[in-house]
Structure 1
């Protein structure tokens, strides 16, 4: 069985984008593993870890990226208070694209599609974190 080692973001400004996600997800910056690090701080790589160790780390790496319009993988954030979370993320630099609603059998789900400061898509949904 495979497991997710980390989620890597190709980005223009690793520090700026990591700062957004650090605050949005309440993650901690951690030292880079030896295969990514050198003797000095590396401005082209920033690694964020989940303080509880339940989620994979996020690596922000200075790299050219493809289109932000058709992203096959993005983060889905779950929260008990979607509207307040969306507002907080906007204050941190995210932008709202749209809010969607879809019916699944007996329940209706609603989520907000957003973009981080570099235009990467993600969603915020009305569910408590697992």
Structure 2
């Protein structure tokens, strides 16, 4: 059996991006005195690992995180105050549900979404 340990972000500035995500997910920074990377531990789920390295080629799949929030608008407002930018907001309805999500970018342009279900 394997366990997902980290979600790794290739980035230009690990310190800056780790600070954004630490605040965004209410995480805690792990002390890594001998590494050139940053780790943000979360209360549940895998840690987020930030390494200074090229983002790869156009063939590589980018990291994209999906979050759910009871109050999407408030969550989006908080994330933009931390440095995220909004790309767009969409809504989709099906039998018995409506999902509204906002697509955002972190300070280095990595996409992520915040979704609210009704």
Aligned ranges 1:30-49 → 2 under 5 Å: 30-32=30-32, 38=34, 42=35, 44-49=36-41
Preserved CA contact (<8 Å) 1:71 1:121: no
Structure 2: gaps (5+ residues): none
Preserved CA contact (<8 Å) 2:9 2:63: no
Aligned ranges 1:1-130 → 2 under 5 Å: 1-32=1-32, 38=34, 42=35, 44-50=36-42, 52=43, 54-66=44-56, 71-126=61-116
* TM-score (ref. length: structure 1): 0.81
Paired residues in the alignment total: 116
**SS of structure 2 residue aligned to 1:55:** coil
Specify which structure has the higher proportion of strand: 2
Return the offset for 1:122: 0.1
**SS of structure 2 residue aligned to 1:4:** coil
Q: Describe the superposition over 1:11-46 as per-residue Cα deviations: whole angstroms up to 9, x where unpaired.
A: 0000000000011111000124xxxx63xxx4x300
* TM-score (ref. length: structure 2): 0.88
Q: Distance in 1 between matches of 2:107 and 2:28?
A: 19
| Cα RMSD, aligned residues only | 1.9
Q: Distance in 1 between matches of 2:61 and 2:83?
A: 20
